[in-house]
Structure 1
Amino acid sequence: MKRFFCFLALLCFFFGAGAQENTDIKAGAGTIVPLKIGDRVPPVVLSGLINGAGLSGKDLSVFKGKLLILDFWATWCAPCVAVMPRMDSLQERFGGKLQILPVAYEGEAAVRVFLDKRRAATGREAHGPIITGDKTLAALFPHQSLPHFVWIGTDGIVKAITDDREVTAAHISAMLGPQAAPMPLKRDSITVYDHTRPLFGSGAPAANTLMQASLSPYIEGIGSGIYKDVDLDSGEPARRITARNQTVTDLFRLAYQKEQKETLVEVADTTALLPPAIRGRAYLDWLKAGHGYCYELLLPEKEKKEAYRLMRAQLQSCFNAYDAHIEQRKVECLVLVRTDNRDRLHTAGGPPSAAIDGFSCDFESCYLYVFLSRMKIAMQGYPYPLVDQTGYQEMADIRLSARMNDLNEVNRALAAYGLRFEKKPAEINMLIIRDAGSPGH
């Protein structure tokens, strides 16, 4: 692909040419060769098993004669947690003809803690075997996004590699039948990018440089994702913002520090800014077809407060067909409010800490904006921005046990603190993207 670069600098700019994922998931090293559809699966020994009675020391061939679906997941992966009830239901429905085998790269202790919380929140027990601490299967079936499913036929041959949408009773029945129809292949763009180094160039800005910025089209082999306000692994103190293979809209969101729910695209033709309703490989192909960009800004430590202002100016200059700005709008929100005046939030002291997973949260000595920022991730399935209207300015302690993606359960748990989320209109600052020169701004 032919590259172009848009450069902007305040003083002395230099550039050296160079080439939301999960950086813990990478293809393995050594002699392991990734498998494809039609390959026979080698006798991988089952390890790190939970609920593995009778399976210790055995390999995947123990499931021969069944349709085996490897379910690659992680405890922090909200979509993985969301599909668990469906996987449980399918396992029960097909009984001895099917084995859904969850595979986690995380260690046994972390997975057991998660399963205990899930049981407490939902009453659901994990009955089937679960692999933990996996490296070998992830190397045989490398992937970047989760969840990730590998279908292995009753004959031990790889039949399909899909996302969660294809794991249905109809597809399982077809796969167990005489003529299974092919399913869309989930083919991730595997990351080989070293996130500790700059994407462009080889080091920090020179001492007399106020900034170093680069913009390019889609780059193969580096995956997609964003690193914000990170330290640069270099001899010079520096800060970095890196966006890999993102849309124009994503870049503007990053520059204005807004999420998707706080963005309105009001242009005549949205095809260059918003992808169609596609996922997986189709979405990657769309990005490669002129809709994906890589951006990086490097600043000396002393200039880091200027980072987002500079990024906004650069993007506006490079994508000057559009006008991006902040505008106050009244939109439907999930508003955090206090239900009474009694203070049940004030911290008991202790070092600040914030932890949240699918079934609990533990915030100690934190301001409510920290709680809200984490809840934005947990409640991403709701189409509304989260807004704080409590007026509470003190540090708080909040410990909840609930399915953190379920508004009703979260509100029941928040009642102990005199808090709740209410769906109602609120005036908030929204990122608006319009055609340049259009009326209204």
Structure 2
Amino acid sequence: MKYYIIALLLSFTALAEGQVKQGSLQVGSQFPVMEPIKLLSGGVLDLQSSQSKVIILEFFDTYCTSCIASMPKLKALQKSMDGKIEIYMLTYQDKNTIENFYKKNKFLQEKKAILPTIVADTVLHQMFPHQSVPHSVWIYKGLVQAITHADYVKEKYLTDLLLKGKIDVPVKDDFKQLPTFNRESAITNSDKSILGTVILSGYDSTLTQVSGLNINKDSVGNVSVYFNNMDIFGAYTSLWTKIKKPTYLLLPQRIVWNVRDSSRYFYDEMSSKSYQEWIRENGISYKRTQFGQQSEAGWAELILHDLNTMLGLQVQWTNKERLCLVLKRKNKRITRIVRQGDKIKKVESTSGLMFVLDFSGQYPPAIDEVEEKINLELSTYKNLDELNTILDSYGLELVLENRSIEVLEFKEIIN
């Protein structure tokens, strides 16, 4: 792993091992003999008679949108593996909750993506404790072969396991303790003048993924600010929010990439790699330790300076001309129309309308040149013309025009 260091002295302390809950199973553990497990559909899962297949236990709940979104892919994967794997959804929620959810979920019904499901589970949750879902457990030949993020449930990894009988993938451990930094351990007998350290590294598998600006202070005044295993774009934007309060969504049109390869900085959902695979190649971790307090904005400015220096970047807000969707007041009498129906969207101001438009991702950046607190009732619209028909009754109009707007520029300044 490559490290970029600014410090009078760099010292690492031993990392605490993650606390293991009593009775839980780890990678390599023998899976215990169990009675067949009842499935929602009425069948059973008999793990003892399925040792020739890879069994994936996919922990989920109905609040996890990414879990639900992944089910069509998981079902297609199971079909493509031609009986060599079996995937089971697994939840603590009761039978009625899941039955009603599956029945009413149009996405799963249309995709025909409902997988065999274990409901009201407590036993397997105790064996495989976790704090976030999706949470994937791989069982093969009676052993726990892997515990991973759902991103790793792919044909290439499953094929490796079937061919080799084992697999080397990162372990998802939601209970791993964060490392601690002991300032005294960083001060040698020959030099007691250390005032602080700054450490920037690539992805570090020993660290739990922690985003944003995190601040810890000990009893004697040492302060540590850090983030772990973030993408570079996310690190910069989260820090900037501490300095400059966002007033709009940061759409792609508001980002300028003056870099050789933007895929190093920002994860593209169209990438052939899963996010977990990508972040292990491109993520960064940062930690600054020193005496003294700062405001959040002050810490953010210090960290941004460190990142710019060590990554060879200049990241700044500037203005560029862009095609925008501009809201204007029309010179006409306002005609109030009472709209009724279940699909009426109510917006309390023109700035709220700008957020709705930006959030949809269907239009250029929305610019509010009216800036009024006005109650807007928007019926369903399919395009800009239909939306303008609705806005006409309020004396408003959206037009496509160029404007000079704020953009965040990423510029590489070293080779």
- The two structures share one fold, judged by TM-score above 0.5: yes
Shift of 1:102: 1.2
Gaps of 5+ in 1: 9-14, 20-25, 203-210, 346-359
Q: Which of 208, 223, 235 is the equivalent residue of 1:251? A: 235
- Identical aligned residues as a percent: 15
Shift of 1:277: 6.2
Q: Residue in 2 aligned with 1:329?
A: 320
Q: How does 1:354-373 map to 2 (within 5 A)?
A: 372=355
Mapped pair 1:286 → 2:281: yes
Q: 1:113 and 1:399 mapped to 2: Cα distance?
A: 34
| Residue pair 2:215, 2:226 contacting (<8 A) in 1 also | no
Deviations 1:24-77 (A, max 9, x none): xx98501323134x955642885xx8x73657xx77538748764322335454
| Residue pair 2:224, 2:288 contacting (<8 A) in 1 also | yes
Higher deviation after alignment, 118-127 or 308-317: 118-127
AA aligned opposite 1:255: L
Gaps of 5+ in 2: 184-194, 242-248
User: What SS class does the counterpart of residue 251 from structure 1 fall into?
Assistant: helix
Mapped pair 1:431 → 2:408: yes
Q: Residue in 2 aligned with 1:35?
A: 27
User: Larger Cα Rg: Structure 1 or Structure 2?
Assistant: 2
Q: 2:126 and 2:63 mapped to 1: Cα distance?
A: 20
Shift of 1:226: 0.6
Q: Which of 37, 62, 87 is the equivalent residue of 1:100? A: 87
Q: Residue in 2 aligned with 1:80?
A: 67
How many equivalent pairs are there?
373
The change in CA–CA distance for 1:141 and 1:368 in structure 2 (over 3 A counts) is: farther
Q: Residue in 2 aligned with 1:351?
A: none
CA RMSD of aligned residues (A): 6.6
The change in CA–CA distance for 1:217 and 1:390 in structure 2 (over 3 A counts) is: same
Q: 1:422 and 1:104 mapped to 2: Cα distance?
A: 49
Q: 1:166 and 1:82 mapped to 2: Cα distance?
A: 14
TM-score (norm 2): 0.56
User: What SS class does the counterpart of residue 6 from structure 1 fall into?
Assistant: strand
Q: Residue in 2 aligned with 1:52?
A: 40
Q: 1:293 and 1:67 mapped to 2: Cα distance?
A: 34
Q: 2:296 and 2:153 mapped to 1: Cα distance?
A: 45
| Residue pair 1:187, 1:280 contacting (<8 A) in 2 also | no
AA aligned opposite 1:221: T
TM-score (norm 1): 0.54
Q: 1:330 and 1:191 mapped to 2: Cα distance?
A: 45
User: What SS class does the counterpart of residue 222 from structure 1 fall into?
Assistant: coil
| Residue pair 1:34, 1:139 contacting (<8 A) in 2 also | no
Q: Which of 24, 40, 61 is the equivalent residue of 2:47? A: 61
Q: 1:299 and 1:388 mapped to 2: Cα distance?
A: 43
Mapped pair 1:309 → 2:304: no
User: What SS class does the counterpart of residue 295 from structure 2 fall into?
Assistant: helix
| Residue pair 1:231, 1:238 contacting (<8 A) in 2 also | no
The change in CA–CA distance for 1:148 and 1:29 in structure 2 (over 3 A counts) is: closer
Q: Residue in 2 aligned with 1:22?
A: none
| Residue pair 2:134, 2:149 contacting (<8 A) in 1 also | no
The change in CA–CA distance for 1:330 and 1:181 in structure 2 (over 3 A counts) is: farther
Q: Residue in 1 aligned with 2:212?
A: 227
Deviations 1:282-323 (A, max 9, x none): 546535xxx62223589988834544334333433444x321
Q: 1:399 and 1:239 mapped to 2: Cα distance?
A: 49
The change in CA–CA distance for 1:370 and 1:238 in structure 2 (over 3 A counts) is: farther
